[in-house]
Amino acid sequence: MPRSSSPPGDNDEDHAIELQNFLAELSQDPEREAVASEILVLQSIYGDDAIRLWHPPSTNGKAYGGRKDSTTRYEVALSLSSPHEDVSLKILVSLPETYPKSSPPQLQLLSKYIGSFGADSNLFGSILRTYISVSGVEWSEDTVCVFDGLQNVFDRCVKWYEDKLSAEKVGELVRDDAKDLPPSETPDAPADDQIPGINDTVPAALPIGVHIYVAESITDRKSVFVGRACRIHHPSEVPLILSHLMSDRRIARAAHPIINAWRCQVDSVVHQDNDDDGETAAGGRLAHLLQILEVNNVLVVVTRYFGGIHLGPDRFKHINQAARNALDQGGFLDAPETKKTTGRGKKH
């Protein structure tokens, strides 16, 4: 049985009160009472701290469980037992308004890494297809099934992690054997993509209707900056798009792969967030760029490949320029969204 794992740095008491109030609200609705009961059962199985209402970065700490789009969303944190390292999983559970009466739930892996291994597109995709795949969980109308899905995901992640450990061990054995051979007999070390189970994937699928536009790269003193931009329709698309980019080895190997900022209007509320991805203050500068350009419903991402020479403040100039070029490449600077039905330029 997986054990619960609480993210560090959060106020557990506040999360518990928030969830308790939300469950009380659900219990008052006869159509959603089954959902509240199921969450309570999950708490009894995985631990009180394992269940939290989902907080997308755009809500400034306010729970997204309140269903503006009639969907209930919450996170489940699990931990894999491993003698090698602490291994945690975070799963997003999305329940349509018609669950469990006539619609299945959807599960999504929120963790970018499982242990020291970056989660790949095959794993992300298989978890998204938990209730529609023959290797997943069968769903029946009027039947709660989140626990069965979580167990299926947990077992799949354990196998994936163990396969990665085995592949890593194979590579270590090959390198150790090579050290013991005379120089003339030393074989070429296999590349990662020649070892089964390592990087043998294709990029993760993008959400339907999302196209990424890529601007020409900017090079300065061997550092390279690449800007990308795309239209987004809901904040929940952002982690899927970033996962798609990180599943591309050419992007993931950069010093700062996904410096990003985004703005998205849902009903009358504009949600927004940014991420420096290790390049301090870069995400905030991109967010400011989107604000002054008055661009909504757009995600912009800059990838920086470090060339070994520090650029000082010039790096921010290049990051902003790469982002602006990508926005221009996609046609997002031309007119309000209602007038921009297509982008121009290169799709990724």
What pLDDT is recorded for position 107? 92
What sign does the CA torsion over 215, 125, 128, 91 have? Answer: negative
| Cα separation, 331 vs 343, whole angstroms | 5
| Cα separation, 181 vs 110, whole angstroms | 44
CB 241 within 8 Å of CB 210: yes
| Cα separation, 206 vs 48, whole angstroms | 34
When pLDDT is cut at 50, 70 and 90, the band that residue 326 belongs to is very high
Calculate mean pLDDT across residues 170-193: 45
CB 228 within 8 Å of CB 241: no
CB 241 within 8 Å of CB 211: no
Calculate mean pLDDT across residues 28-39: 88
177: pLDDT strictly greater than 60: no
When pLDDT is cut at 50, 70 and 90, the band that residue 194 belongs to is very low
What pLDDT is recorded for position 182? 44
CA distances in angstroms from 178 to 22, 171, 182, 283, listed in the order given: 59, 11, 8, 44
CB 146 within 8 Å of CB 130: no
What pLDDT is recorded for position 337? 55
66: pLDDT strictly greater than 80: no
Structure token pair of residue 294: 């008055």
| Cα separation, 103 vs 243, whole angstroms | 26
200: pLDDT strictly greater than 70: no
222: pLDDT strictly greater than 70: yes
Calculate mean pLDDT across residues 228-241: 89
When pLDDT is cut at 50, 70 and 90, the band that residue 85 belongs to is low
State the Cα torsion 88-121-54-156 to the nearest 10°.
Answer: -50
187: pLDDT strictly greater than 50: no
Question: Where in the chain are all domains bearing CATH 3.10.110.10?
Answer: 12-56+69-160
117: pLDDT strictly greater than 70: yes
Mean residue pLDDT across the chain: 78
What tens digit of pLDDT does each residue of 250-262 get? 888 888 999 999 9
What pLDDT is recorded for position 29? 84
When pLDDT is cut at 50, 70 and 90, the band that residue 281 belongs to is confident
Q: What is the CATH number of domain 212-330?
A: 3.30.230.30
| Cα separation, 297 vs 299, whole angstroms | 7
What pLDDT is recorded for position 348? 44
CA distances in angstroms from 140 to 73, 98, 100, 105, listed in the order given: 20, 13, 8, 11
Calculate mean pLDDT across residues 194-220: 68
Calculate mean pLDDT across residues 156-168: 85
Calculate mean pLDDT across residues 57-83: 66
What pLDDT is recorded for position 268? 80
Alpha helices in the chain (DSSP H): 12-27, 33-46, 121-128, 146-179, 237-246, 249-252, 282-293, 314-329
Question: Architecture of 12-56+69-160 per CATH?
Answer: Roll (3.10)
What pLDDT is recorded for position 302? 95
173: pLDDT strictly greater than 80: no
Element holding 113 (H helix, E strand)? strand 113-114
CB 75 within 8 Å of CB 60: no
- Which of 43-57, 80-94, 138-152, 304-318 is predicted least confidently? 80-94
- List of residues 6+ apart from 67 with CB closer than 8 A: 97
Calculate mean pLDDT across residues 69-90: 79
Question: Where in the chain are all domains bearing CATH 3.30.230.30?
Answer: 212-330
Calculate mean pLDDT across residues 215-240: 90
Structure token pair of residue 262: 């985004």
CB 145 within 8 Å of CB 137: yes
Say which residue the tokens 């959603």 belong to: 32
CB 260 within 8 Å of CB 287: no
CB 227 within 8 Å of CB 323: yes
What pLDDT is recorded for position 82? 61
